[in-house]
A and B are shown apart, each in its own frame.
Chain A
């Protein structure tokens, strides 16, 4: 009996190395790095500045929305409407600026739209008890239809007096040659990571996903937080929409179609658990990066693009398989 109660209480369950090795995010990060190393040797075109610039920028739109989605998924919810919300917010921005308003007004209208949609989803889910799947599936349909109504289903590519400002916002590289969308992504990821780890709101998000009933009993304002969480998700889609509009220089009513699945795939590959209670901001970025690297490399390796879905689907299953194996070993 040399171990005192004091020592037991001070002990930690595992050291940080074991924690890192046990995390899905770490192994996905490792696969991304290995894939990049392999591709730089196997092809001439992968490790070029231009290709890397393209990859990092393409990652951002999925990654930014995956940050919001991660928070939703940690609470045990899901948001299927993000692709359509991205489209609607882009369209609101485009139509408002096309009508001659400044970029500030356009962005405010776009963000406002996102927040209203998120609040609508959130109130139905939190206060009226709708299943998140149903509400956001409905919104998937509504938001895209509203985008068509707003634009009369045309392509908008002229953004009024602030046209150039908008293109610079999304397409420029104001900081050491890093594409602007990448900068926004990094800032938003740091912010999300901070909120999840260091704020009371973040703590409640995890608590709700772990045991919503317990959270309610102990006085966590579960309903209010749910509304905020769906607003954040819609906001992330709106922000991605604004940046993508500036980058593409045109908005059609089918941008963001099917994007919700890519976003959910990225969060799940990055370690978020659809049952709730688990997920990180960093994981969302890594998941989005892996998907983009797979897409990019298939092209460079000369593999038929039809195989893309198989590889991405395989990555989802593999990532979750890893998690299952770890759980099985623990429960033995």
Chain B
């Protein structure tokens, strides 16, 4: 079942054409590996889906309805979650505060609402446990290891029942054991019927979890095929340009 459909999406920043005429369909319960060289436009593409950028051209449809996102909050309301490439964490805040950034839990009546620290610590703790990550909700992110920081960023996607989870290099800075956890989590999301987009430069990660692979080069989509029908050699060729298009 198609969850999200992108039609002729383009994005330019001034003269730079970051994403050029890209179309594809995300299916529920499917993991799509999105690959491409540095600067190919992968992050720009997922940021448009997450409501961080507006496309210069093209349309998006979700469950058959046109989707025009002006803010990240709107994307989340539609069940779209993202782990940003640089993780988008505030070092001066606690892990829990970062997890809930932009959608803090509050308690109280009427207009007088205060932050519900207790509930946020509790919920963040539950999610870290689910992720099997030794991350303490009350600790400042400043003092955390790369893996813990990644866990905080990933925990954001688990706050609500998402339909689409976009992961921009979630395994870039973490240990082998934690990579396995993240890949497991991705499979877990897929089994729950969530559509996952995994951006990664690590061929083994993509080939072990993805059902489909999309390759981008210089803003254009140059391949979109089932993972069984492709191979790491072919994908490498597509990324570098040795293979033009398939």
Q: Which residues of A line the B interface, CB within 8 A? A: 5-6, 8-13, 197-200, 203, 206-207, 209-211, 213-215, 217-220, 277-278
Contact = CB atoms under 8 A, between A and B. Distances in A.
Contact of A217 (B72, B104, B113): B72
B188 interface: no
A206 B140 CA distance: 13
A5 B101 contact: no
A274 B132 CA distance: 37
Contacts of A219: 51, 71-73, 76, 102-103
B5 to A, nearest CB: 24
Interface residues of B, number: 37
A209 B129 contact: no
A8 B148 CA distance: 13
Contacts, number: 89
Interface stretch (B13-21, B90-98, B176-184, B216-224): B90-98
A200 B72 contact: no
Main DSSP-derived SS at the B contact region: loop
B89 interface: yes
18 contacts: A9-B125, A10-B136, A13-B136, A198-B115, A199-B113, A203-B97, A206-B92, A207-B101, A209-B92, A210-B92, A210-B93, A214-B88, A214-B90, A217-B72, A218-B88, A218-B101, A218-B102, A219-B76
A24 to B, nearest CB: 14
A1 to B, nearest CB: 12
Q: Which of B87, B113, B136 has the most CB of A within 10 A?
A: B136
A10 B139 CA distance: 10
A37 B113 CA distance: 42
A219 B86 CA distance: 15
Contact of A203 (B76, B84, B89, B104): B104
B44 interface: no
